[in-house]
Amino acid sequence: MDKYFINRRSVRNFTDRPVESSLLNEILTAAAKAPTCGNMQLYSVIVTRSPQRKAELAKQHFSQPATNAPVILTICADFNRFTRWCQLNNADAGFDNLESFISATADAIILAQQITTIAEQEGLGTCYLGTVTYNAPEIAGILNLPELVVPVACLALGWPDGPGIETERLPLEAFVHEETYRNDSDQEIISLFKSKEQYPANIQFVKENNKDNLAQVFAEIRYPRAMNEAFSQKLKDYLQSAGFLK
C-alpha cells in the first residue's frame, strides 16, 4: 500500500506557482472515472482563479487561510444538466426531490475526493473548505448557479508551501464494525477518544477555550447547537428555492 495515504496532510499555505490548466484538466478527466449514480455524473466543478472572485468566495468561507490558494474548486451537486437533457428528449424528469439531491451530493463528494487524491499524487496540496454548505446561497449567487445545482464541497488547490500540519485520527476499532453495528459501552467510547484527547494540539484547544474537555470544545465552541440549527434552516430554505425540496 502506498505510504502516501498514511502520511497525507491537508495544506493551507501555498506558493505563488500557478496550477496550469492542462494539469488541472488531466486531473479532472481522471477523477471523472470515479463511480457515479447510474452513470449520470450528477456534478459540476466551478474553477475559480480570478483574485476578485476568490476574494468574494473567501468571505463566504470565513476567510480561512486556504482560500489564498491559486485555484478554488467548488464541486456542486447538479441535476440541472441531466434534467434539461431529459426534458429536451420528452422524458419525464422527476429529480426535483430530496432523494435526487442525496444522489447528486454523493456523486459530487466522490468526485471531490478523487480530485484530492489524484492532485496530491501529482505533488499538489489540497484542503477541503468545510464551510461550503454554511453559506450555500451566497456561494451560489457568486457562481451564478441555476436551479437544481447546489455547492456541496470546496477544495483549495495549489503547490504546497511547506508540508502541512499533521492531524490525529481515531483508531480503526472506533469506526469499523463487523457484520452489524457494535454498540460500545460508555467506557469503550471514552477509551476510543482517548488518543484524540491526548493529542497536543487538542490539549491546547481545551486550554485556550477555557473548557473542561475536548468534547466541550467541539460541541459548545466549534459547532454549537444554535449555529448548527441556524445553518441547517438556511440550507433547508436554500434547497427549497433551488428546487430540491417542495
Predicted pLDDT at 212: 97
Measured in whole angstroms, the distance separating CA 79 from the mean position of its chain's CA atoms is: 19
Residues in the chain where the model's pLDDT stays below 70: 1-4
Nearest alpha-carbon partner for 170 in 191, 187, 185: 191
Helix (H, G, I), strand (E, B) or coil at 184: coil
Residue showing cell 440549527: 229
Amino acid (1-letter code) at residue 205: F
CB 192 within 8 A of CB 47: no
10 Å Cβ neighbour count for 75? 25
Are 202 and 168 a contacting pair, CB within 8 Å? Answer: yes
Cell of 37: 449514480
Cβ atoms of 136 and 236 within 8 Å: the answer is no
- Per-residue cell: 63: 476567510
> Cell for 133?
454548505
Domains of the chain: 4-165 (3.40.109.10)
